Amino acid sequence: MQRQNDRYLRALQCQPVDCTPVWMMRQAGRYLPEYRQLRAKAGDFMTMCKNPELACEVTLQPLRRFDLDAAIIFSDILTIPDAMGLGLYFEQGEGPKFKNPITNFNDINKLSIPDPEIELTYVMDAIRLARKELQGKVPLIGFAGSPWTLATYMIEGGSSKTFTKIKKMLYSDPASLHLLLDKLAESVALYLNAQIKAGAQSIMIFDSWGGALSHRSYLEFSLQYMHKIISLLERGTRGPSYTKDYVPVTLFTKGGGLWLDKIMQAGCDAVGVDWTVDLSTLPKENIAIQGNLDPTVLYADKVTIKNNIDLILKEFGPYNGHIFNLGHGISQDTPIESVEVLVNTVHQLSKRDHNGES
């Protein structure tokens, strides 16, 4: 019988492990040739997302190549706005766009809260299928975008570098923006609870664009709503020792180093950090830390990759509660060999800091 690898879940609860667990944001994606082949066969990105069998297959692909300690369900953060009727589509080389972006209070007022087992059932079906296929090999991560990040796409109509439209609403019509964020928080909480019910064993909330906000605005328009989501999640009760059925939550704000102390007070079990953060300065033991290799290090030679991994492991030190990850998603042209070096090096070097049982 295959032994269950639960070191990722143990690390999230700051429990002893035999070595530091590792997974990568966007680990199921375009850097893998088998992913590119499947996407070409499927025709487009959303077809893959909305087909549970294809989504499950993509979820499992990186685990066949690398000794990763967690799988993350293949989906997209913009499934909720799409289910709200904004008409999500992807243009070649330009990323996600919406046919019906939000422009005013009336647009927001008309938005309905999606039922995750109706409008988003394809995600739940993919989770159920992936859990079955994984057979306990590693835990499965479910996820959603933060309300602020979802709102940026919904108001900007797609990706943005300046966030002019949403910031205009933030300062000129904050009541409307708060209404939108409140609806999104409710939608995300329902969505994540459905993922937990379907079999997700850990939850991650991606706040990709929180770092674009001012200090006060981040607390009011981003962190407040992530805190609300966490308070609504049905994830069990965490005990003083490893609690197998507890569902931990990780918050990740890219560019959020300024607010880490506030993020740690939002009710999450772990905080994801990007490569700008010095892990040696962070609290240890009571909250887990995920991160934080710069993804571009993986373009370097093996020695450079290993040295950078070693520096991060030494920065964190011989404590429980570290999940090794990149500081953001893996780049699509990352060499496969570099990923193998990353995973194996983390496991090998981190054994010096651990003597627990995974």
**pLDDT at position 355, please?**
67
Whether 36 is a known active-site residue: answer no
Residues 6+ apart with CB under 8 A from 146: 188, 205, 206, 207, 208, 210, 222, 225, 226, 253
Whether 30 is a known active-site residue: answer yes
| Low-confidence stretches of the chain (pLDDT beneath 50) | 1-2, 356-358
Q: Which of 18, 39, 128, 173 is catalytic?
A: 39
Q: Strands, DSSP E only, in 114-225? A: 140-145, 202-207
| Cα-based torsion angle of the residue sequence 213, 215, 216, 217 in order, rounded to the nearest 10 degrees | 10
Q: Which amino acid is at 201?
A: Q
**pLDDT at position 3, please?**
62
Q: Which of 30, 65, 128, 238 is catalytic?
A: 30
**pLDDT at position 90, please?**
84
Whether 76 is a known active-site residue: answer yes
CATH code, residues 30-288: 3.20.20.210
Give the model confidence (pLDDT) of 73-109 as tens digits. 999 999 999 999 999 988 776 689 999 999 999 999 9
Whether 125 is a known active-site residue: answer no
**pLDDT at position 93, please?**
67
d(Cα 216, Cα 319) in Å, to the nearest integer?
Answer: 32
Q: Which of 7, 10, 26, 235 is catalytic?
A: 26
Measuring CA to CA, which residue among 331, 335, 322 is closest to residue 13? Answer: 322
Q: Which of 8, 35, 153, 242 is catalytic?
A: 153
The ranges assigned to domains in the chain are 30-288
pTM: 0.96
